[in-house]
Amino acid sequence: MRVMERTFREQLFFLVLCLSVLKGDSRYIENNEIPKDDLYSFLNSELKREIPEELMYRRPLRCLDMVAVEGQFTFTAERPQLSCAAFFMAEPNEVISVYYDSVDIDCRGGDFITVFDGWVMKGEKFPSSQDHPLPAYERYVDYCDSGSLRRSVRSSQNVAMVFFRIHKAGSSFTLTVRKLINPFPCNIISQSPEGSYTMVIPQQHRNCSFSIIYPVEIDISEFSLGHYNNFPKRSLPGCAAESGDFVQLLGGNGIDTSKLLPITDLCISFSGPTHMKVGCDNTVVRMVSSGKFVNRVSFSYRLLDRQELQDIKLNNVEDFCFNN
């Protein structure tokens, strides 16, 4: 019975999700109004089915879709589809490669297929422009602009997406999606509301975020910055300006980390758990590294239950999450 109820709930979420897409005219469809709760319900479905190695998984691609498996995906327009997006997701230590197998669209007639390095929802990008190694315009790769010169696109992190617009029924395209190991993961969206992770930046000048799109309790068990390894545990407001190497805990209701509100800054190394409950739709552990040291932070997280969320709301803890 529980399996049947879960399946029905997932189908209902998908129906609501499809009905929620706006038919806008923006070429990159950045201002989509996709409900985040419905989108991430896909992450709890049975997307990660086991596939025999000798067979490639194949299925049709929907106008609005979430894909968390490798395989070949074909979209064929039954009618004009002017505002479509497919979200791709891999494990934290993987990046995504999208390869164009075949494309039959009318670029001159206004059709397009664009791969974006990250995710875009309601005008917000993940990773944020501050944390991504490429400028925003280079993160969009349009098939009609690049054509046969660039048959594949690789993401910089474990998420990517494809925007597409097709005006004529019968037009189609086929993509093959592969997952590749990333030896130094940076900027991750978690597939699960529960888990643990260790983020390491090996003497690289970059910013990395681990985004959990759920209200969670987070336990930071280890935190090590190269220049403060021998100091006791401390949390200092504004310590970022002094050190250049620090960890932030952020919270909010969007996916752009630059628009989230800081909960605390950590810039002194420690070992031993630090517990915090964050009642936001998005909880982010963000590490900023100057490149001078090897920095790492280890943490675990779990989903808050309804009673815990109610207690947070009644106690006005992190009330900005409920008011925004």
Could you read off the pLDDT of 35-90 as tens digits, one per residue? 555 554 555 443 444 445 457 899 999 999 999 999 999 999 999 999 999 999 99
Question: Which among 323, 278, 324, 270 is positioned nearest to 301, based on CA atoms?
Answer: 278
User: What is the predicted pLDDT for the residue at 233?
Assistant: 42
Are the CB atoms for 227 and 245 separated by under 8 Å?
yes
**Per DSSP, which regions of 146-214 are E strands?**
152-154, 159-166, 172-181, 188-189, 195-202, 207-212
Residue 7 CB partners (closer than 8 Å, separation 6+): none
Q: Rounded to whole angstroms, how far apart are CA atoms 254 and 308?
A: 21
Alpha helix segments (H runs only) across 225-305: 240-243
User: Over the stretch 108-138, which tens digit does the pLDDT of each residue have?
Assistant: 999 999 999 999 998 899 999 999 999 999 9
Are the CB atoms for 163 and 28 separated by under 8 Å?
yes
Q: What would you report as the CA-atom Rg of the chain, rounded to the nearest whole angstrom?
A: 21
Q: Rounded to whole angstroms, how far apart are CA atoms 3 and 293?
A: 48
Are the CB atoms for 279 and 321 separated by under 8 Å?
yes
pTM, rounded to two decimals: 0.78
Are the CB atoms for 94 and 196 separated by under 8 Å?
no
Which residue positions in the chain have pLDDT lower than 70? 1-54, 147-149, 226-243, 268-273, 315-324
Are the CB atoms for 256 and 296 separated by under 8 Å?
no
3-state DSSP of 263-282: EEEECECEEEEEEEEECCCE
Tokens of 129: 């422009």
Are the CB atoms for 243 and 227 separated by under 8 Å?
yes
Q: Rounded to whole angstroms, how far apart are CA atoms 272 and 267?
A: 15
